[in-house]
Amino acid sequence: MSEENENINEDLNPEEDNFSEETHSEENATFEGEHFYDNEENNPEDTITKVTGMYKDWFLDYASYVILERAVPAIEDGFKPVQRRIMHSMKELDDGRYNKVANVVGHTMQYHPHGDASIGDAMVQIGQKDLLIDCQGNWGNILTGDGAAASRYIEARISKFGLEVLYSPKITEWGVSYDGRRAEPINLPVKFPLLLAQGGEGIAVGLSTKLLPHNFNELIDASIKILKGKPFTLFPDFPTAGIADVSNYNDGMRGGRVRVRAKISQLDKQTLVITQIPFSTNTSTLIDSILKANDKGKIKIKKIEDNTAAEVEILIHLPPGVSPDKTIDALYAFTACETSIAPLGCVIQNHKPLFIGVSDMLKISTNRTVDLLRQELEIQLQELETKWHFSTLEKIFIREEMYIDFKLYSDKESLFEYMYKRFEPFRKQLMRDIIDEDLQKLTQIPMIRITRFDSDKADELIAKLEDEMAQVKHHLENLIDFAIDYFAKLKEKYGKGRERQTEIRNFDTIEATKVVLRNTKLYVNREEGFIGTGLKKDEYVADCSDIDDVIVFLRDGKMMISKVDEKKFVGKDIIHVAVFDKNDKRTIYNMIYRDGKSGSSFIKRFNVSGVTRDKAYDLTQEKPGSMVLYFSHNPNGEAEVVTILLRQVGSVKKLKWDVDFADIAIKGRASKGNTVSKYPIKKIELKEKGISTLRPRKIWFDDTVQRLNVDGRGELLGEFRPNDRLLIINQSGKLKTIIPELTTHFEEDMIILEKWHPKKPVSAIYYDGEKERYFIKRFLVENENKEEIFISEHEKSQLEIVSTDWRPVAEIVFAKNKGIQKENQTIDMEQFIAVKGIKALGNQLTTDKLKQVNLLEPLPYEEPIEVIPEEIEVNPDSGEEGTDLTDYNISLDDDGQITLTLE
């Protein structure tokens, strides 16, 4: 429980909360409905006492106390009472030096009627937010979760920022402390959106609040936009950094949701590194969640190293053969590397809870800051006017030598009457009427000051005061501009080093079934009709996880999808069983079946998606006696050629012919299919394995989530067959090609991502750190299975430009040399250098120093046209019947190829 709740047990102390002893007497008493009676007598009619009113009043009083005085911050200054009292105590103790936290806690107890532990915890949490308190000593670590040292060992003082924005005693509204002995601020005059900068949470009785922290500079920028009448947006920024998806932030109100992820990157093929963690976690809880996921078999890791100090560094070592990309997704899916935070904007305003969004909170805070600045200016103007008034009186008093006749007056009344008469001619020179207090101060001026009075200096002082008053009046007349300037100065003085830490990015949705480690094995007993992970004596099917689904096909044409279990009956005579992926539309099932009523045989091709678990689907015409004669499953839509052999029946002449599944359209699973033969089939033999009949898969790259997809989001990379690859080039000079998988993670410095053409050269200009020269090179990717670096590996080497155009053109801009500026030079990279090996140094571009290198429009080039064979597009929703295969004439041509022609 956080500092907002302090120690809830203290609230239950009857002495502290003034509970009556009557409520705690009668140890054996019992509440029943609205009645109270003694258990010893067991007779409610004798001792009935209604407590409804007392319970209602006392409970509401207690709930109100916890809500208003402990758990929920005030919107005026962003503080809960304990926080406000801590900062007030620190101001009272402030002398510019550090104070022991224990001393501050003890001083705060004069204002806060609770234990020192709750005050100390609250102070540590304020200090860890690194805004209001200048900390010295071990204050704990929000990254590792380590606690602070004991309050007697650590020290604190108010930060310069805190001194500037928190305090202004002259405009502070004061109240009385709980014991009536001291004055304490009702609200501090905070001139900054402190609540949104620090965030806060608390749990009260029947109510809670959770306000996420926001960026210091962004809050100031948004406040300035409010004052200028411009639109603005606010998103949280967390001290633990990480990556946040704020698409459903909902302005920080109830119903919103923020997803936060750790920043995970691939150090090498067998090592992942976590450098930032999600808000509300620490390295200890994060590592514990990873170890638990490993123990449960959700992920597979070799070991974890925690090297966290000032910055987070958690190394995750993977066993050989484990995919780093899938492991990253699995970490997000099954561990605390991704957390979901539900904000809830609730504050106290006018002694009542108020549910409000962060935008409205900022508007209220900004307007309050303007009002506080106005009050300070008005007080400043009043003080300047008072000072000017007395300085003018003093000047007239001394110049007119009014003090000489003081000895003639023996009492104050006659003296003041004399002075009023003497000042009467000068009344028009004054800003206000003279009062007795003014005259009293004049009579107390020391004689040495009168004798040394300098009229010229007095005039300078009055003129200076008039200038200052004019400036203050100008600020009051242009209050909004003054407030804007105030916020701008705050940002200039304190905004450095407070840049945004959390990266804002939309997240893709990770499906657990696609990234979970398949840590168990699936078995099948085909004859008896059982599947499960516990049938270890039966036939092995595949590796699976406990959250997978299994698809089963039976000889009678039934199909069922069921969740993995230890042992489950699905139906006898199983012909196919596999782990099922409901989003896989590229797996095509080829089937020939016999209809139980007519005896005719039909052929069909279909895929499976969108089914109800544990429901039996009939893939035939639902006639008794129907049977599957041939079945195959094809991950890439392969279409084989089979030989049909008929039984000798009557005068049937054609007893044997070949059927190519490529001639059959892919339709829905409920499709009847095309007729193969009206006569009984004796046997079906596989003649030739098929190749994929599906169109190449289109793949897009969504830059907002940095992921590949097949849903049309982002930039189209091209159409990919099973062996096609992606080319990835990074700013660091690294290059690799990969098979496009939707789970692939990309590095932040990636500059080129496109479909790889093996014969297309890569052109680059880079600076060689060792030779201190610029070089140009062109090369082909030589090893498609290896990541390579194509610039020199010196630490000062850097890539200037890289292009995958066929005929790239570059422009080099020279730096001035002794005041001489050479003209820019255009380089035809194809003509400048021939294609060489990837490890070649390349040709020297120039010996002159360059200012920059620009990539221009490439020269025209016609790419070779790729011949694509005719392919079939999946149409899973089609249920139409196809052409009857018996309507074809089947013959062999001179080359022995099978041809089918309609009769």
Catalytic positions, written as ranges = 153
Task: Provide the residue type at 354 as one letter.
Answer: L
Please give the Cα distance from 630 to 478 (Å, whole number).
87
Q: Is 123 exposed, middle or buried (0-12, 13-18, 19+ CB in 10 A)?
A: buried
Helix 283-295 and helix 324-334, axial crossing angle in degrees, nearest 10: 110
Length of the chain: 903
Q: What angle do CA 162, 168, 174 make, to 5 degrees?
A: 115
Return the amino acid letter for 498: R
Signed CA dihedral, 363, 365, 367, 369: sign only: negative
CA torsion sign, 892 to 897 to 900 to 903? negative
The two structure tokens encoding residue 174: 């004061």
d(CA 468, CA 474): 10
Say what angle helices 101-108 and 81-93 make with each other, to 10 degrees: 120
Alpha-carbon gap, residue 141 to 874, rounded angstroms: 56
Beta-sheet pairing, 666-667 with 601-606: parallel
Q: What does 842-900 look like in DSSP terms, one character per residue?
A: -EEEESS-EEEEEEEPPPP--PPPPP----B---TT-------GGGEEEEE-TT--EEE
Is the Cβ–Cβ distance between 355 and 207 less than 8 Å? no
- What distance lies between CA 622 and its chain's CA centroid? 51
Residue 261 to residues 238, 333, 506: CA-CA distances in angstroms?
11, 10, 11
DSSP state for residue 214 in the 8-state scheme: B
Between vectors from CA 315 to CA 314 and to CA 318, what angle results, nearest 5°? 140
Pairwise CA distance, residues 884 & 813, whole Å: 71
Closest CA to 692 of 591, 605, 784, 610: 605
DSSP state of 202: E
Contact 210, 2 (CB under 8 A): no
Q: Are 621 and 879 in contact (CB under 8 A)?
A: no
Q: How many CA atoms lie within 13 A of 846 on its CB side?
A: 17
- Determine the Cα–Cα distance for residues 562 and 135; give it in Å rounded to an integer: 59
Q: Report which of 602, 600, 604, 584 is spatially closest to residue 663, judged by C-alpha positions.
A: 604
